[in-house]
Amino acid sequence: MNLILLGPPGSGKGTQSSRLAKEFKLAHISTGEILREAVRSKSYLGEKANHYIHTGQLVPDEVMIEIVQERLKALDCKEGFLLDGFPRTIHQAEMLEAFTRIHLVVALKVEEEECVQRLASRKTCPGCGLTYNPVNHPPKKENVCDQCGAVLILRGDDKPETVRERLKVYVKLTAPLIEYYQRTGRLEFVDGTLAPDKILQNLKNMLQSKILLWK
Ligand SMILES: [Zn+2]
């Protein structure tokens, strides 16, 4: 089963993706992470991506798709994968279709103001990329990552004015994407305003019913 999880910044998409991937034994592919990994490895693609990142530009679709394609060749993707943060544009979605089959796309629905509020108090682990929120997902020890022990940070792009800008970009790019997957009958919405455990439960129920249909 190959899935895509869509959701605005602050929707809890990252957390839900990693939990869902674990539940269904899918490879969790976060584009933020594989991009950082590619840059760290100084591979040919990584160096290419790094050039854009360092000059403050978006990594072009062609480079991004190559990085994703490389990643999807890995053994852990054989039984299925969950893409988190990709595709971002309809162009990317079309390129993705060219070499893999996406069974289902799930969009988390959260209102703009709620995203802004959530991100303003969010902390990120610079080590493993996990995110924490004092309200619904606090770290066990204050300011320290549960998973790797690094000291948590507030990211600059989580500031309210930056978040509003990111949300605008998200809506502009994702609206056509949602329409694209809806048209091909592969889109499901899930309420992203509920408690994280409840959202996960709803996601699981929905996927299980889909899997039964596919069998
Ligand atoms: Zn960590």
Please provide residue 153's backbone torsions phi and psi, each rounded to the nearest 5 degrees.
Answer: -125, 160
Position 188 pLDDT exceeds 70: yes
pLDDT tens profile 66-86 = 999 999 999 999 999 999 989
Position 135 pLDDT exceeds 80: no
Question: Does residue 61 contact residue 67 with C-beta atoms inside 8 Å?
Answer: no
DSSP state of 99: T
Determine the pLDDT at residue 121.
86
Structure tokens given for 181: 């997957």
Active-site residue, 155 included: yes
Average pLDDT over residues 146-152: 95
Q: What percent of the chain has pLDDT over 70?
A: 100
- Are β-strands 123-124 and 131-132 bridged in parallel, bridged antiparallel, or unpaired? antiparallel
Confidence band, pLDDT 50/70/90 cuts, at residue 215: low
How far, in Å, from the CA of 111 to the mean position of ligand 1?
28
Torsion of CA 67, 186, 105, 174, to 10 degrees: 80
Q: Which of 36, 48, 155, 159 is catalytic?
A: 155
Confidence band, pLDDT 50/70/90 cuts, at residue 103: very high
Confidence band, pLDDT 50/70/90 cuts, at residue 203: very high
Determine the pLDDT at residue 85.
87
How far, in Å, from the CA of 149 to the mean position of ligand 1?
6
Determine the pLDDT at residue 166.
86
Position 118 pLDDT exceeds 90: no
Structure tokens given for 187: 């889109």
Average pLDDT over residues 169-177: 88
Active-site residue, 166 included: yes
Position 110 pLDDT exceeds 70: yes
Determine the pLDDT at residue 16.
92
Average pLDDT score over the chain = 90
Position 21 pLDDT exceeds 90: yes
- Cα–Cα distance between 72 and 78 in angstroms, integer? 8
Active-site residue, 122 included: yes
Q: Which helix (H) or strand (E) holds 30?
A: strand 27-30
Determine the pLDDT at residue 105.
96
Average pLDDT over residues 35-62: 88
How far, in Å, from the CA of 138 to the mean position of ligand 1?
13
Determine the pLDDT at residue 158.
83
Active-site residue, 13 included: yes
Q: For each of the domains in the chain, give its residue range(s) and CATH number, in order of start.
A: 2-204 (3.40.50.300)
Q: Which of 13, 71, 118, 123 is catalytic?
A: 13
Is the full-model pTM beyond 0.95?
Answer: no
Q: Which of 71, 88, 118, 123 is catalytic?
A: 88
Position 136 pLDDT exceeds 80: no
Q: Which of 19, 71, 118, 122 is catalytic?
A: 122
